[in-house]
Amino acid sequence: MHLTTREIPLDPARSAILFIDVQNFSCRREGGEFKDIPPAEIEARCGYYFDRLETLAVPNMQALQAGFRVAGIEVMYTTIESLTKDGRDRSLDYKITGFNVPKGSWDGRVIEEIAPGEDEIVLPKSSSSVFVSTHIDYILRNLGVTQIVLCGCLTDQCVESAVRDACDLGYLVTLVPDACATMTQARHDNSLRAIRGYCRQVPTADLLKEIGQ
């Protein structure tokens, strides 16, 4: 016997939500990802992204975080952060890109709006996919998780990588599109189309109703 559909409501006892890279480095105008962009150009080049974060994605993440906590569902986070100060452990891709979020730095912290609770799991990663550069698969299996909800940044990069890898590892994946953000609407929409076959895509309000919140 095997499943023939991904459209399966969450079982709270077998589920977790993961917030991907919602951190100072990539979600603040003063974050390290934008250090090479002159302040006068930030709005022109990244205005859409920050507006989506501030007016849509982060408020929806806050609602999801609150609702999943009340429902007793595991809440988890991953951030881009090296295991060393100089980033010698990070992926070749991050070295070429120039990304280094030093261990313990302000850039590596989850943004205050969805700050982790004291007993919630935060996993530092140094590649695009959390399933490649952390032991999240081991942790999820220890927790008894078979259904994972994903949201965060960037839709078409680290979020998309997590969706594909989680699916291939045997998890039922739910993506929350209105709790994700990337640099343009076109990039966001193209990503959603590309990964439609790997996950179900459920808006924040509908997902909260599904878990009784």
Instruction: Residue 33: name the closest of 21, 51, 48, 18 by CA.
Output: 21
CB 170 within 8 A of CB 140: no
pLDDT digits (tens, 9 = 90+) for 16-53: 999 999 999 999 999 999 988 998 899 999 999 999 99
| Residue 4: pLDDT band with limits 50, 70, 90 | confident
Residue found under tokens 């990039």? 187
What is the maximum alpha-carbon separation in the chain? 58
Rounded Cα–Cα distance for residues 18 and 29 (Å): 23
Q: How many CB atoms lie within 10 A of CB 186?
A: 10
Question: Which of these CATH numbers, 3.30.1490.20, 3.40.50.850, 1.10.1050.10, 3.40.718.10, describes 15-211?
Answer: 3.40.50.850
- Beta-strand ranges (E) seen in the chain are 15-20, 74-80, 121-125, 147-153, 172-181, 200-201
Residues of the chain with pLDDT > 90, as a percent, come to 93
Q: Where are the alpha helices (DSSP H) in 53-89?
A: 58-70
Q: Does residue 1 register a pLDDT over 70? A: no
Please give the residue that has the higher pLDDT: either 10 or 99.
Answer: 10
Rounded Cα–Cα distance for residues 120 and 77 (Å): 8
177: helix, coil or strand? strand
pLDDT digits (tens, 9 = 90+) for 169-197: 999 999 999 999 999 999 999 999 999 99
Rounded Cα–Cα distance for residues 50 and 27 (Å): 7
147: helix, coil or strand? strand
Rounded Cα–Cα distance for residues 18 and 125 (Å): 13
Whether the bond between 123 and the residue before it is cis, its omega within 30 degrees of 0, is no
| Residue 167: pLDDT band with limits 50, 70, 90 | very high
pLDDT digits (tens, 9 = 90+) for 119-129: 999 999 999 99
